[in-house]
Amino acid sequence: MSQQKTVIERVGEVPLSRRRFVQWSAAAGGTAGLMGLGGVGLQQAAAADATAAGEKVTWSACTVNCGSRCPLRLVVKDGQIVRVDPDDTGDDAVGTQQIRACVRGRSIRQRIYSAERLKKPLKRTGKRGEGKWAEISWDEAYTIIADKLKDTIAKHGNESVFIQYGTGVIGATVARSWPPGGSAIARLMNCVGGFLDEYNDYSCGQIEAAVDFHYGAWQGSNSNDDLVNSRLVVMFGNNPHETRMSGGGEVFVTQTVKRASGHRVIVVDPRLSETAMNLADEWVPIRPGTDAAFVAGLAHVMIKENLVDQAFLDKYCSGFDEQHLPAGAPAHSSYKSYVLGLGADGVEKTPDWAARITGIPAATITRLAREIATTKPCSVNQGWGIQRHSNGENQSRAPMLLSNLIGQVGISGGGNGERESSAALPMVSFPVLKNPVKPVLPFFAWTDAVVAGKGMGYRQGIRNAENINSNANVKHDVVLGSDIKFIWNYGSNATVNQHADINKTIEILGDESKCEMIVCIENQMTVSAQWSDLVLPDATTAEQIDVIAQGSAGNLGYTILADKAIEPLFDSVPVYEQLTQIADRLGVKQQFTEGRTQEQWVQWLLDESRKAIPELPTLDQLRTQGIFKKKLDSVIGMKKFRDDPVANKLGTPSGKIEIWSSNLYTMSQDWPMDVDGNAIDPLPIYRQTREMPGDPLQQKFPLQCIGHHYKQRTHSSYGNSPWLKEAHPQHVWVNTLDAQARGIAHGDRIRVFNDRGKLELPVYVTPRIMPGVISVPQGAWYRPATPGGVDKGGSVNVLTSQKLTSYAKGNGQHSNLVQVEKA
């Protein structure tokens, strides 16, 4: 490793186009060969483009859930993948860039040839989670599943069959795992009466709910290529440099446009992330979950100094001040009244007030308020982390509100405070037929629905499929008719590892009388696979054909043909073929397949998509070409609304941006909440909810614990890759002051614990994280000696809580109070 470290440290001395190459080579090349395939050294990598005799290149892709989709050119010799080469089309310009895969995709051979690849269908023989299995034939596996499905539907109805959220193959189209309702499993279930679907997701459940009230629906902010027109960019917890770190991700675009425009970048984040380090001119450390207080402090300065864009607020927004509240709103309920201390709490939200909550000095808040209000165009955007808190709904609205205060919505160089958009090709999705089941579950409440789903209704977040996207003032009147009895898990580690409070989850799953059957279709023995009843070995993307439809970054839209590079390893079978066999046993094979093989579906998808994209190549052309790219127009979010707000009303009751949401106000009257400080607030105010700064629980567990995304993994995908584990080891980030106070030195093994669980990891002592905050990089695989014991793998979810947020009923997985000690 020492030689590799030296190379990485020298990255700053080489031109950008070389940097990615050096970073990858350092991470992947120095390791000796895997399973006889041979490693790729620096010199070999330099000659990577040369295809030697007997080698064949097949285009494939990395399909995990990082937000990007990257082409991979798999070099195959004698039936084995011997090398992974990147995209070799395009150039170094935004909109025509090479989509160079990151270190994760480049190491994909370690997933394909992993020692943990599933080889045969497995049936559980011991208790669930005990790890005792018997190999069975495919015929037996298909028959067990078909019989159990028929029995479950007959006894409990189709509402008792749930398809788990899973993003292991999010980028595919036929073999797509997300959204669950868009997967081939959904198509199969819809042939036999449907299934219990879910809404929103672990990535962004709170903002998905909250944005409907603020903007009427998800709008999307400007695409990042448009930042070239910004003078200032303010990023709340947005971290492309560690999440979407390829040419198809946003890191290339953000880095390149910053260099071209010279704009200033401010990153607000509890952690000096790779993005803060490499892109930002200023890092603003903040206590997790307090962004709405920060924005209130900024607003106080802007209001007092007449820096808000009053003309924009008057014309486009509802509820900023008393003059623009809708009829029926209580007096002094506007945002301005809240900030000036004229509202119900009587507290003025001065910079000093905000400083006490956020940890950001008052002078910094004042300075930033003046800069943000006077440097235009200014783009405000956010990543998903700030809303993954117990007060996540209000948190997610705070950056939107900031963009409203400065009037930067719908213009080039500006932004609406949501996450960035990107321009994508209008590719056709895999058709899944109609799901007749009406109740729809909030994604995070599935464990509740296993324990006591029957009778869950509106106040538990159950929505009606017929108006699933309209939580605005719709009192959903459906009730769930059954507990969850059958779980399909396809490409998902959310059944255990990625769901919150692992110890509680495995206790629930350990009661086999509740959920009676868990079928896992996977290519690795993941933590969730270990807690299943049947495990079916899936072919990897390299072992089947598919189309990677929705690639996009900035203003570049692209589609990749992921062709079959090698035969499925061991006894693995592509998911579509597995489901075809089960459909046959359920008597719906013709309806499920419409007579098509997987390759014929790919052909059909391309042909259908070509109706809207005439220049889209044919399947045969794509087999050679691999990728189709098209430079598209930049996205300017909400431009039509900005240009003509009367003709292009938003989906809110007023048709305007609702800073004070009348629908949330109505819901707050009808849906009282009295646990964990939860409430429904018409305004995006700061609310101290569960495990926030100031919680009395801090006397026992004083530190806030978040779980940042980390280069080693995309969530839990690639989590068992030896190369990546060596290059990016799992460790707990602890601030230097907090470590000193506990006698902890860099590299010590420490124990992190709360009342929900314990984990043990080496510590990374650093000033790169806010004092009082620690971070356990999320996605590591849970590895206790015995279930419920101390987790030596370092999964943050032994510490996280299953408690639901207020109205999104989502995952506040970054709101955790913990203590640390030397192990």
- Binding residues for ligand SF4, rule: CB under 6 A, are 62, 64, 66, 68-70, 101-102, 104-105, 244-246, 248-249, 714
Taking the least distance from each CB to ligand SF4, the nearer of 106 and 117 is 106
Taking the least distance from each CB to ligand SF4, the nearer of 246 and 532 is 246
DSSP character at residue 424: -
Q: How far is the CB of 244 from ligand SF4 (least distance, A)?
A: 5
What's the burial of 511, exposed, middle or buried (CB within 10 Å: 0-12/13-18/19+)?
exposed
Q: How far is the CB of 26 from ligand SF4 (least distance, A)?
A: 16
CA-closest candidate to residue 755, choices 527, 442, 503, 549: 503
> How far apart are the C-alpha atoms of 81 and 345, rounded to whole Å?
64
Q: How far is the CB of 504 from ligand SF4 (least distance, A)?
A: 30
Q: Which residue is nearest to ligand SF4 (CB)?
A: 105
What is the DSSP pairing of strand 732-735 with strand 773-775? Answer: antiparallel
Taking the least distance from each CB to ligand SF4, the nearer of 105 and 121 is 105
Q: How far is the CB of 375 from ligand SF4 (least distance, A)?
A: 31
Q: How far is the CB of 490 from ligand SF4 (least distance, A)?
A: 19
Give alpha helix (H) positions in 445-588.
446-452, 502-510, 527-530, 575-586
> How far apart are the C-alpha atoms of 379 and 189, rounded to whole Å?
43
> How far apart are the C-alpha atoms of 816 and 327, rounded to whole Å?
40
> How far apart are the C-alpha atoms of 491 and 112, rounded to whole Å?
14
Contact 762, 792 (CB under 8 A): no
> How far apart are the C-alpha atoms of 425 and 550, rounded to whole Å?
7
Taking the least distance from each CB to ligand SF4, the nearer of 28 and 210 is 28
What does the DSSP assignment read for 645-663? TTTT--SSTTSSEESS-HH
Q: How far is the CB of 558 from ligand SF4 (least distance, A)?
A: 12
Taking the least distance from each CB to ligand SF4, the nearer of 419 and 687 is 419
Q: How far is the CB of 106 from ligand SF4 (least distance, A)?
A: 7
CA-closest candidate to residue 156, choices 482, 511, 488: 482
Report how far apart, in Å, the C-alpha atoms of 803 and of each of 457, 499, 550, 715 are. Answer: 17, 11, 33, 21
Structure tokens at 307: 């820096």
Taking the least distance from each CB to ligand SF4, the nearer of 66 and 616 is 66
Q: How far is the CB of 625 from ligand SF4 (least distance, A)?
A: 19
What are the backbone dihedrals phi and psi of residue 483, each rounded to the nearest 5 degrees, phi first? -70, 165
Q: How many residues does the chain have?
A: 823
Q: How far is the CB of 85 from ligand SF4 (least distance, A)?
A: 13
> How far apart are the C-alpha atoms of 84 and 73, rounded to whole Å?
6
Give alpha helix (H) positions in 281-407.
291-304, 310-316, 335-340, 351-358, 362-374, 392-405
Taking the least distance from each CB to ligand SF4, the nearer of 238 and 435 is 238
Q: How far is the CB of 455 from ligand SF4 (least distance, A)?
A: 41
Q: How far is the CB of 71 from ligand SF4 (least distance, A)?
A: 9
Taking the least distance from each CB to ligand SF4, the nearer of 100 and 397 is 100
What is the DSSP pairing of strand 122-124 with strand 534-537? Answer: antiparallel
Taking the least distance from each CB to ligand SF4, the nearer of 152 and 778 is 778
Taking the least distance from each CB to ligand SF4, the nearer of 167 and 404 is 167
Q: How far is the CB of 710 from ligand SF4 (least distance, A)?
A: 12
Q: How far is the CB of 383 from ligand SF4 (least distance, A)?
A: 15
Residue holding tokens 């913990």?
Answer: 818
Q: In degrees, to the nearest 5, what angle opens at C-alpha 777 toward C-alphas 168 and 809? A: 65
> How far apart are the C-alpha atoms of 283 and 275, rounded to whole Å?
10
> How far apart are the C-alpha atoms of 509 and 502, rounded to whole Å?
10
Taking the least distance from each CB to ligand SF4, the nearer of 104 and 438 is 104
Taking the least distance from each CB to ligand SF4, the nearer of 246 and 550 is 246
What are the backbone dihedrals phi and psi of residue 452, each rounded to the nearest 5 degrees, phi first? -155, 60
Contact 758, 752 (CB under 8 A): yes
> How far apart are the C-alpha atoms of 470 and 206, rounded to whole Å?
15
Q: How far is the CB of 550 from ligand SF4 (least distance, A)?
A: 12
Contact 254, 240 (CB under 8 A): yes
Q: How far is the CB of 627 from ligand SF4 (least distance, A)?
A: 13
Taking the least distance from each CB to ligand SF4, the nearer of 245 and 437 is 245
Report how far apart, in Å, the C-alpha atoms of 248 and of each of 413, 556, 623 are. Answer: 21, 8, 20
> How far apart are the C-alpha atoms of 28 and 5, rounded to whole Å?
12
Taking the least distance from each CB to ligand SF4, the nearer of 66 and 441 is 66
Residue 546 Ramachandran class (φ > 0 left, ψ -120 to 50 alpha, else beta): beta
Taking the least distance from each CB to ligand SF4, the nearer of 245 and 317 is 245
Q: How far is the CB of 67 from ligand SF4 (least distance, A)?
A: 7
CA-closest candidate to residue 744, choices 725, 726, 731, 729: 731
**Amino acid symbol at 623:** R
The CA-based diameter of the chain, rounded to the nearest angstrom, is 79
Q: State whether residue 672 is helix, strand or coil.
A: coil
> How far apart are the C-alpha atoms of 175 and 810, rounded to whole Å?
27
